Structure 1
């Protein structure tokens, strides 16, 4: 099980604007301190933590943060509409587009995904695989997209 993921950021204020544009909609709560940003899913009293946590921190060695080539963090949304809304919110908060929301031929028929980069250049995906929604190859996919 992955317990947490950390990405580096040189500008914590800008990173907070970006990540706070969509992570709260996925249930993450923010704690901010001198060490950076910590996004975690809430834990009921007496319950075990729900992983993974997501941290945005200055680099430990003080050198500039860099995006990992080939590294990506994916966040699961509940619906295709939420993928579209969160992608737009992240772009509006300083992210850059790496792939508009939609189905990809290389993935399963229910994997609806968008890709973007945070202001530091870290690559992210927001996806939904909701079995109650249209899949890539169904006739209703085009109708669903037209209504959204």
Structure 2
């Protein structure tokens, strides 16, 4: 199980604007501190921690942050319309389009996905794989 994911950011204010445009809609709550941004899913009393957490932080070595070549972080949405809405919100909050929401021939017939780059260049996917919704083939 993945416990947490961390991406580096040189401009925490820009990163906060971008990630806060869609992560709260996916139930992630933000905690800010001098070490950066921490997004976590809610935990009900008596429930185990829900993973993974997502962190946006300045680099530890002080060098500029850089995006991983071939690395991508995917967040699951509840529906195709939520993918479209969150993709648009993330673009309006400073993200760059890496692929408009839609079906892709190389994935399953219900896998609906949109791709973005955050202000630092990290690749982000927002997807829904809801079998109740219409699929690619009909």
Q: Same fold (TM over 0.5)?
A: yes
Greater Rg over alpha carbons, structure:
1
Return the alpha-carbon distance in structure 2 between the equivalents of residues 49 and 131 of structure 1: 27
Question: Which of structure 1's runs of 4+ aligned residues deviate more than 6 A?
Answer: none
Unmatched tracts of structure 1, length 5 or more:
139-148
For normalisation by structure 2, the TM-score amounts to 0.99
SS in structure 2 of the partner of residue 13 of structure 1 = helix
Which residue of structure 1 aligns with residue 137 of structure 2? Answer: 137
Unmatched tracts of structure 2, length 5 or more:
none
Return the alpha-carbon distance in structure 2 between the equivalents of residues 90 and 106 of structure 1: 25
SS in structure 1 of the partner of residue 18 of structure 2 = helix
Return the alpha-carbon distance in structure 2 between the equivalents of residues 98 and 48 of structure 1: 35
Deviation at 1:10, TM superposition (A): 0.2
Deviation at 1:46, TM superposition (A): 1.5
Which residue of structure 1 aligns with residue 30 of structure 2? Answer: 30
Return the alpha-carbon distance in structure 1 between the equivalents of residues 7 and 81 of structure 2: 26
CA RMSD of aligned residues (A): 0.4
Give the structure with the larger helix fraction.
Answer: 1
For normalisation by structure 1, the TM-score amounts to 0.93
